[in-house]
Amino acid sequence: MLTFEEKLAIIESFPELERKDVSMGRVNFHYNESSYDQKNVVYHLHPNGNGFVYAGRMTGYQTNDKGMVNIRDFSEKAIRSTVRKSILSLTPKAPDKPLEDVEEIWINQNGMTLTLINEGTQWNVYADDQLDGTFNSYREAAEILDEEGFSRI
């Protein structure tokens, strides 16, 4: 099981989350850009290692009545993936017209980088100058990159 400090470091690596210290040494992390009333992504991360991530709008997770999944025994990869998916599930829907000139760099633990670019109505992933994948939405591309162990820089 990861320590409280390790879990905290993983979660703090998401710049879109805002830390909120609460009682008994517990920590919440809010996603203020949420398009829903739900703002808590991480709830009551406790020094004993217990904590919850909001998964109420996601499939494949066993949640409590508040839509939270317990991350006590999650690996680093599982925590990163679950937090990323939680943020994406709360992210405002993309506008009908794609944004112009959107380009992001994603990196994995081995230092491999991929570039995600919005081109017209599609999102393309490139490894150097080679097309690696094409997706219909940013959300779809980001979820796949996250599942493959990549993080946005």
What pLDDT is stored for residue 47 in this prediction? 96
d(CA 151, CA 33): 19
DSSP 34-99: -SSS--EEEEEE-TTS--EEE-TT-SS----TTSEEE-TT--HHHHHHHHHHHHHHHSPPPPSSPP
Packing angle, helices 76-90 and 138-147, rounded to 10:
170
Would you kindly state where each structural domain of the chain is located, as residue ranges? Answer: 4-90, 103-152
Dump pLDDT digits (tens) for 12-65. 999 999 999 999 999 999 999 888 888 999 999 999 999 999 999 888 889 999
SS3 of 145, please? helix
Question: Does the domain spanning 4-90 belong to CATH 3.90.1150?
Answer: yes
Average pLDDT for the chain: 90
Dump pLDDT digits (tens) for 56-78. 988 888 999 999 999 999 999 99
Structure tokens belonging to residue 45: 């991360």
